[in-house]
Amino acid sequence: MIRLALRKTLYFLFRLLTHLQVSGLENIPATGSCIVSANHLGILDGPLLFSLISRKDITALVAKKHQRNPIFRWIVNTAGGIWLDRFILEVKPLQQVYAHLKKGGLLGIAPEGTRSHSGQMAQGKSGVSFLASKIDVPIIPIAIFGTEDAVHRLLRLHRPTIHVRVGTPFHLAPVARQTREADLEHNTDEIMCHIAAMLPEKYHGFYANHPRIKELLEAGL
């Protein structure tokens, strides 16, 4: 009950305090294992996605550094997030993730590993690709922009415009043992380019002029 009340409260606040433009939510399946993979420009990204995705089995990987913020810590714990140290390989969080996906849950994760401080996409890390190589589940790309300065604008009593675009689910190519590192890098680029293709060009950052983005745009994805 508390979790549902939190989601509805966050949704109400986002609708009240921001100009929220959302498209493609129908691309998120109602049931079944999947990984929601989004870019990360602002601290509001996680709470925003939690408020928009109505599935009860949603969880997400969240950096332990955010435990220092009591409000954010309460939100993550109430929402059922999984705390992860980005700098140490921890077995327990990975076991939680695998168990959650194997029983048909939805996992949210930011491939960049942390919030971008440049206002543009940073280079993606191989975490999502690694998880997908262990459990073959669809990847659902989500592009978010407008959150990079949303808190600053709210504090100045301005309503920021925030865009959320949900893309079509896709599967990553298999990872071969002999070419593991190259395959993981290729799959990470694939995820990031799917996200970039839904963002205005000024946000492409590390992936600016990547040829895969043009291919995806021409294919209408």
Cα(15)–Cα(26) distance, integer angstroms: 19
Beta-strand (E) ranges in the chain? 19-23, 34-38, 58-63, 82-84, 106-109, 139-145, 161-166
* Greatest mean pLDDT among 24-33, 88-97, 125-134: 24-33
| pLDDT, tens only, 154-185 | 999 999 999 999 999 999 999 988 999 999 99
10 Cβ contact partners less than 8 Å away, ≥ 6 residues apart: 47, 48, 50, 51
Helix axes 45-52, 70-79, angle to 10 degrees: 30
Of residues 103 and 72, more confidently modeled = 103
pTM: 0.92
Average pLDDT over the chain, rounded to whole? Answer: 92
Percent of the chain having pLDDT more than 90?
A: 69
Strand partners, 62: 83
Q: Which two tokens stand for residue 115?
A: 């919030």
Of residues 189 and 127, more confidently modeled = 189
Of residues 201 and 63, more confidently modeled = 201
Report H helices in 122-179: 127-134, 150-155
Cα(169)–Cα(166) distance, integer angstroms: 9
83 φ/ψ angles, rounded to the nearest 5 degrees: -75, 140
* Dihedral sign of CA atoms 40, 46, 47, 51 in order: positive
pLDDT beyond 90 at 120: yes
201 φ/ψ angles, rounded to the nearest 5 degrees: -55, -30
Cα(189)–Cα(204) distance, integer angstroms: 12
When pLDDT is averaged across residues 6-25 and rounded to a whole number, the result is: 96
pLDDT at 88: 66
Cα(73)–Cα(67) distance, integer angstroms: 5
CB of 185 within 8 A of CB of 126? yes
pLDDT at 219: 86
The amino acid sitting at 12 is F
When pLDDT is averaged across residues 121-129 and rounded to a whole number, the result is: 91
* pLDDT tier, 221 (very low <50, low <70, confident <90, very high otherwise): low
pLDDT at 89: 61
Nearest to 121 by CA among 200, 7, 31, 59: 200
When pLDDT is averaged across residues 9-21 and rounded to a whole number, the result is: 97
Cα(141)–Cα(42) distance, integer angstroms: 17
54 Cβ contact partners less than 8 Å away, ≥ 6 residues apart: 7
Q: Which two tokens stand for residue 75?
A: 């939100």
pLDDT at 164: 98
* All domains of the chain in start order, with CATH: 2-218 (3.40.1010.10)
When pLDDT is averaged across residues 66-94 and rounded to a whole number, the result is: 81
